[in-house]
Amino acid sequence: MVILQGIIGIFASWRVVFMREVGVAAVQLRPRRPGEALEDVARLVSEARRLDADIICLPEAWNVVNPYSQFLEAVDAYGYVVGVLSRLAEENGVCILGGGLYKRRGEGGYVIACPVVNACGELAGEQLKVHLFKDEKNRFRRGDEFRVFEFHNVRFGVLICHDIVYPESARELVLRGAEVIFNPSRIVSSGVGAWHIYARARSLENRTPVVAVNVVLNRRYGGGSLVLGLLRRGRGILYPVTLAEVSGDEGVAAAKVDVDEYLEARAERLSNRHPRAYRSLLEGNPIFGGDDMRGKV
């Protein structure tokens, strides 16, 4: 504990000199076919840059109107779409997170991938969707790990849509060093309220900003993209607060976040964990309510 307090003190002193502020943006799009959608992406990425964004996140499946009938069209367009995103990233000097795109993987296999493109237009890597939702399990292969990326000395991770439902996902990213969490999603209107609760919970639990991004389409998909930060109230208790949001149709939610502001609170929260008490989380996928999970009387 003494060592941890010393580390926290060092972080606090460093913050005075080396404040790491990063501009983040959620780009809310109306789903269209790839060619049409990319025109909107170019326009909104430029708008996000004018709002001083450094890392710009697109939603999940923004390049398909109907994920079923246009599935193969979206798969075939993956390489072209990433190429355009690379050009936009380089032209604007930003990092672009491609959202959740359908991609061919191996012989007859498909994944949902978020390409991460840096300001040089290079593909820095990709995050695969780990927790597939309902019918997605019949079509896609799931990812097996959560990765942490770095841009402008800020470490971040991506949870694609349904991944944010599972608290272990965000905690894994934070334990790996993520300081900002991005959540590109495709949420129906009736689910936006619950989605916001998940995003706020992940922000509060992990003492980290969350950028939640959705599509918007008529009454089917409800938008509601936002950037969450944390604010101290009362006796220093942290609360998740909305720093920026998109109301209505397409648009950009952009905000500046000082990632060093949360270092001390996150270190304190993580240091108080007691992994042995919840070791079943690390032992595969036990059946809920099994005998091994019940106390004996």
Neighbours of 120 (CB within 10 A): 11
* Predicted pLDDT at 157: 99
DSSP annotation of 54 reads S
Amino acid at 230: L
Per-10-residue mean pLDDT of the chain, 297 residues long, equals 50 55 98 90 98 99 92 94 98 98 91 98 98 95 97 98 98 98 98 99 98 96 97 87 96 98 94 90 65 47
Burial of 27 (0-12, 13-18, 19+ CB in 10 A): buried
* Predicted pLDDT at 35: 78
Sign of the dihedral through C-alpha 164, 166, 167, 170: negative
- Can you tell me the distance from the alpha carbon of 72 to that of 252, in angstroms, rounded to the nearest whole number? 29
Burial of 226 (0-12, 13-18, 19+ CB in 10 A): buried
pTM score, two decimals?
Answer: 0.90
* Predicted pLDDT at 243: 99
Question: If you search the block for the tokens 């993580």, which residue do you land on?
Answer: 270
Angstrom distances, CA of residue 197 to CA of 26, 227, 272:
17, 13, 24
- Can you tell me the distance from the alpha carbon of 137 to that of 172, in angstroms, rounded to the nearest whole number? 22
* Domains, the chain, ordered by start: 21-273 (3.60.110.10)
